[in-house]
Amino acid sequence: MDRKRMAAACALAGFALAGAKFAAAATEQDTAQGIAQYREMLADGNPAELIEMTGEDLWKESRGPKNASLEKCDLGQGAGVVKGAYAQLPRYFEDAGRVMDLESRLVYCMVQLQGMEAADVTKKPFSGDGQYSTDIEALVAYVAGMSRGMKIAVPQTHPKEQAAYARGRDIFYYRGGPYDFSCASCHTGDNKRIRLQDLPNLTKQEPARAAFASWPAYRVSQGALRSMQWRLQDCFRQQRMPLLKYGSDASVDLTVFLGVNANGGQMMAPAIKR
């Protein structure tokens, strides 16, 4: 780990310790109040900003068998254009012949431009609690941060984008597993909670916008940055459903459904979560 990463990791360890104290206090006080206190303590800062800096370095660094950077990666706005790209993902990419979210597109670019093996890149896409972010997470934080304040505009112009939305809607309402749960079981009603967590109604415009706009996010209770792929995978885990394969069509389709429902909202990721 280079000096910049080591310094960032040390700083994040401090944030994680402070966050753990608030997470522990959440059993004794309202969770929303606890996270508000944590945000106040950070003032205008966000631990994810350190990870964004790492992601920017990784974007520009020559790596892999081809010793190339990701600066020619097309995220939908043209080769190398990062600003505003995340707000318009997932989308159809002609070169890949499929609809991709940010994470699957980054893997594609790392393989095509840098010569890396997809299996190696996706072997461990998520960091553990309190660990510094993986390369993919850092890149996600950087790209997402470059869309902060921009309007969410997940496209539905290509037939494959429309088909992805329809499949994503089916997945959202599909019931299964030992609890006969679906995404809709938790996210289609108002004023629902699970333990200490508020559950947004993702079929309504405003809560759908607020939820989608805030991922990826730095999760206080885990001291780590979490991506949308992680969020979906963890929801499936809690439903006791088979885990989503990282970057799979199913994971992207579900993200398309959530993103289109959030269109018109203002991107604010990486955000801070409990």
Cα-based torsion angle of the residue sequence 53, 55, 61, 63 in order, rounded to the nearest 10 degrees:
150
Q: What is the pTM of this model?
A: 0.84
What does each C-alpha distance from 143 to 11, 40, 86 come to in angstroms?
A: 21, 25, 6
CATH of 42-272, one of 1.10.760.10, 3.10.20.30, 3.30.2310.20, 1.20.1740.10: 1.10.760.10
**pLDDT tens digit sequence for 209-263:** 999 999 999 988 888 999 999 999 988 898 888 888 999 999 999 999 999 999 9
Q: Is 10 a catalytic residue?
A: no
3-state helix, strand, coil in the chain (%, to 5): 45, 10, 40
Count each helix (H run) and each strand (E run) in the chain, helices first: 11, 7
**pLDDT tens digit sequence for 50-102:** 999 999 999 999 999 999 999 999 999 999 999 999 999 999 999 999 999 99
Q: Is the pLDDT of residue 10 over 70?
A: no
Domain ranges in the chain? 42-272
Q: Is 187 annotated as a binding residue?
A: yes
Q: Is 109 annotated as a binding residue?
A: yes
Q: Is the pLDDT of residue 12 over 80?
A: no
Phi, psi of 204 (to 5 degrees): -105, 145
Question: Under 8 Å CB-to-CB from 197, ≥6 apart: which residues?
Answer: 31, 274
Q: Is 183 annotated as a binding residue?
A: yes
Name the catalytic one among 196, 235, 250, 268.
235
Name the nearest CA neighbour of 164 among 261, 259, 252, 248: 252
Q: Is 231 annotated as a binding residue?
A: yes
Q: Higher-confidence residue: 35 or 18?
A: 35
